[in-house]
């Protein structure tokens, strides 16, 4: 499954919020430490603020939120142990927000390891936690905070995943929805240009679907849509992306397929629908348009070419496959120069 954009947005928001809290929260203490002549802790505070500040800027610029979040969590974990070592009890208080931040910023396993190291290191500092009782209280309270943060991170992640799945899929057919398609097309275009591999798009629309609804009812129409979606899934590969574009119109993104392969896939799907999908005794058919991606064009232009080919299939009598004109020229070039034809 492709990396989740929404997940990256969520992580970026956490990084920025955490960075702002660290900069605003720690800077006054750094100034205080210098004013009080405690230069070592002052320098440490300043190093933490600077590293976190640069981390946020770097994540913002590069979009690499995962690695930055891990660096930030590691920096704060090491920093709070050193501050506890140098500053005594005052430093111990920073352990609690750092434990929470670890579980919000990085994967749970990494956070658990970092947090265990922080708790273990600080608990061993006799200069800070002098008695066994203090050590026990510190350990119990920090483990409680960590467990709570662990459960919270785990539950919110699974709910986010569920919400994203619901928002990205059509509930009737389980196909991805139009909203998801824009991002998938862009990613497929980038892959195609980077790997110099072809990628194709099929757009298909059931024929006379209104008549099916009118004759057999809306629920029977829904069952036809489900049958078509199941058939498409049975006859496509894992890396192909299936979308419901609305009503009785679907899209199929086929990475690695040149125009010839794409036409074969389209023809297979069209003929399978005709021979296998039924509403009562009525044969269901569909019209298919296909377009191979031309490097450099926009996602909108690519999809429009597939749409226009599909409308042409409707005009020419339905239950047929039409290859968009631009893709036909590309196919002719592929045939002339088989050495250049990408793998299918």
Ligand X SMILES: Nc1nc2c(ncn2[C@@H]2O[C@H](COP(=O)(O)OP(=O)(O)OP(=O)(O)O)[C@@H](O)[C@H]2O)c(=O)[nH]1
**Which residues would be at the binding site for ligand X (CB under 6 A)?**
172, 205-211, 213, 218, 221-222, 225, 247-248, 314, 318
Query: In the bound complex, what is the minimum distance in angstroms from residue 174's beta carbon to ligand X?
Result: 13
CA 341-233-196 angle, to 5 degrees, is 20
Residue nearer to ligand X on the CB measure, 92 or 288 = 288
Rounded Cα–Cα distance for residues 315 and 321 (Å): 12
- Give the catalytic positions in this structure: 248
CA distance 309 to 302: 11
Question: Among candidates 144, 344, 331, which has minimal Cα distance to 254?
Answer: 344
Q: What single string gives the DSSP state of each residue in 31-69? A: HHHHHTT-HHHHHHHHHHHHHHHHHHHHHHHH--HHHHH
Pick 48 or 206: Cβ nearer ligand X? 206
Q: 108-123 and 132-168 are packed helices; what angle lies between their axes, rounded to 10 degrees?
A: 170
Closest approach of Cβ 343 to ligand X, in Å?
A: 35
State which residue, 130 or 283, has the beta carbon closest to ligand X.
Answer: 283
Task: Check if the beta carbon of residue 200 is closer than 8 Å to that of residue 292.
Answer: yes
Least Å from the CB of residue 202 to ligand X? 16
What the block records as the tokens of 255 is 């990475």
| Min separation Cβ 303 and ligand X, Å | 18
Question: Which of 108/314 has CB closer to ligand X?
Answer: 314
Q: Which residue is nearest to ligand X (CB)?
A: 221
Min separation Cβ 304 and ligand X, Å: 18
Task: Closer to ligand X by CB, 139 or 213: give it.
Answer: 213
CB distance 255 to 196 below 8 Å: no
Q: 35 is written with which tokens?
A: 């004013």
């Amino acid at each position: 499954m492709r990396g989740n954009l929404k997940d990256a947005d969520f992580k970026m928001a956490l990084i920025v919020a955490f960075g702002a809290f660290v900069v605003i929260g720690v800077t006054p203490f750094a100034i205080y430490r210098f004013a009080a002549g405690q230069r070592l802790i002052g320098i440490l505070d300043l190093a933490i603020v600077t590293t976190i500040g640069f981390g946020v800027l770097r994540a913002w610029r590069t979009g690499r939120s995962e690695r930055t979040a891990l660096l930030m969590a590691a920096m704060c974990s090491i920093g709070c142990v050193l501050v506890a070592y140098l500053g005594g009890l005052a430093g111990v208080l920073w352990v609690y927000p750092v434990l929470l931040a670890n579980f919000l910023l990085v994967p749970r396993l990494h956070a658990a390891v970092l947090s265990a190291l922080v708790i273990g290191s600080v608990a061993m500092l006799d200069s800070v936690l002098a008695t066994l009782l203090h050590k026990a209280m510190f350990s119990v309270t920090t483990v409680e905070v960590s467990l709570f943060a662990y459960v919270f991170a785990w539950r919110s992640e699974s709910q986010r995943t569920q919400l994203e799945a619901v928002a990205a899929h059509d509930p009737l057919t389980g196909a991805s929805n139009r909203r998801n398609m824009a991002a998938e097309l862009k990613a497929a275009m980038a892959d195609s240009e980077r790997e110099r591999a072809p990628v194709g798009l099929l757009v298909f629309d059931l024929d006379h679907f209104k008549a099916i609804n009118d004759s057999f009812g809306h629920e029977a129409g829904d069952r036809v849509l489900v049958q078509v979606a199941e058939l498409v899934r049975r006859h496509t590969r894992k890396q192909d992306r299936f979308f419901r574009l609305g009503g009785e119109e679907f899209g199929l993104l086929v990475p690695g397929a040149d125009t010839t392969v794409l036409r074969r896939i389209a023809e297979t799907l069209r003929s399978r629908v005709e021979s296998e999908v039924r509403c009562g005794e009525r044969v269901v058919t569909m019209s298919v348009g296909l377009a191979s991606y031309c490097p450099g064009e926009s996602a909108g232009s690519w999809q429009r070419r597939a749409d226009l080919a599909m409308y042409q299939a409707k005009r020419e009598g339905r239950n047929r496959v039409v290859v968009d004109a631009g893709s036909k020229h590309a196919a002719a070039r592929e045939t002339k120069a088989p050495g250049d034809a990408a793998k299918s």
